[in-house]
Amino acid sequence: MDDLTEMLKGTLEGCVLEIIGSEETYGYAITRRLNELGFVDVIEGTVYTILLRLEKNGLVQVTKRPSGQGPPRKFYALNSAGRKELATFWAKWEYLSSRIDKLKEGGR
Amino acid sequence: MDDLTEMLKGTLEGCVLEIIGSEETYGYAITRRLNELGFVDVIEGTVYTILLRLEKNGLVQVTKRPSGQGPPRKFYALNSAGRKELATFWAKWEYLSSRIDKLKEGGR
DNA sequence: ACCACTATACGGTAGCACGAGGTAGTGGAG
DNA sequence: CTCCACTACCTCGTGCTACCGTATAGTGGT
């Protein structure tokens, strides 16, 4: 698949929120999960910048735990502000994708 | 609806391509059409930057015609490179939206 | 003469994903 | 024991994009 970076702007952060919302997890695993899901070119650096942004914006709760197979992991969980932001993200996605699909069908 | 600017990145240009592809038209009218379609906050300046970019990238054929109710209009039509780019855009959109929807359904 | 509507252009800004590189910890192969 | 692979995190800089404010210009109404 072609380069999706521009199209991912605004949506990738929402995807990370969704992943965190479904299970407390950490950066490295989130990257692997995104790759599995078809976001094949998403790289760790990108995910970490998003995670730091989420933390800075007060949307997540962070817990550091030892790993046993590498450095300690930073686990992320959504707080109430994060859950609200996630809901907003899905509302925006619904809105946008419905308009785009309408346009695609030659919507007049 | 909340601010969609980040989510529009990468997709708005494709929308403009689609509109031009369905009918030879000009900037001001494209803006009005986008507003009708639900992209309510898209403003003329944004559309003109996209149109200039399309022209610079050799995706459109431009024809200037007098208007009768204002300054002359610059009409845009897709050339073969533009049609190819439009097809690529829809392929990317299909890919992305299917992955996002899968993620939303808790896709495992 | 002024304003509203049509129509285009342009310089600057902010936000985002990404690339490249660096730091650490664990464990296995040579 | 040294090297490498894998895990795991961080950071600085870059490029692209949509957007904002502003300017210019033509037409028609009051």
The predicted-structure confidence for A4-48, as pLDDT tens digits, reads as follows 999 999 999 999 999 999 999 999 999 999 999 999 999 999 999
| Cβ contact A106 with chain C strand, < 7 A | no
Mean pLDDT, range A1-5, rounded to an integer? 92
pLDDT exceeds cutoff 80 at A106: no
Mean pLDDT, range A83-97, rounded to an integer? 97
First to last CA, chain A: 30
List Cβ neighbours of A106 (8 Å cut-off, separation of 6 or more): B22
The predicted-structure confidence for B39-49, as pLDDT tens digits, reads as follows 999 999 999 99
The predicted-structure confidence for B15-26, as pLDDT tens digits, reads as follows 999 999 999 999
CA distance, residue B37 to nearest chain A CA (Å): 7
Can you list the residues of chain B whose pLDDT is less than 50? none
Instruction: Calculate the alpha carbon distances from A55 to A50, A83, B27 in Å.
Output: 9, 13, 41
Residues of chain A numbered 12-31 and touching chain B (CB < 8 Å): 15, 18-19, 22
Q: Which bases of strand C have any atom within 7 Å of the beta carbon of a protein residue?
A: 5-12, 15-21, 24-27
B-chain residue closest to A88, CA distance: B2
Helices (H) and strands (E) in chain A, counts: 5, 3
pLDDT exceeds cutoff 70 at A108: no
Domains of chain A listed by start with CATH number: 5-105 (1.10.10.10)
User: Which residue lies nearest D16, CA-to-C1' measured?
Assistant: A6
| Cβ contact A19 with chain C strand, < 7 A | no
Q: Judging by beta carbons within 10 Å of its beta carbon (0-12, 13-18, 19+), is residue A36 exposed, middle or buried?
A: exposed
DSSP string, A60-102: EEEEEE--SSSSPEEEEEE-HHHHHHHHHHHHHHHHHHHHHHH
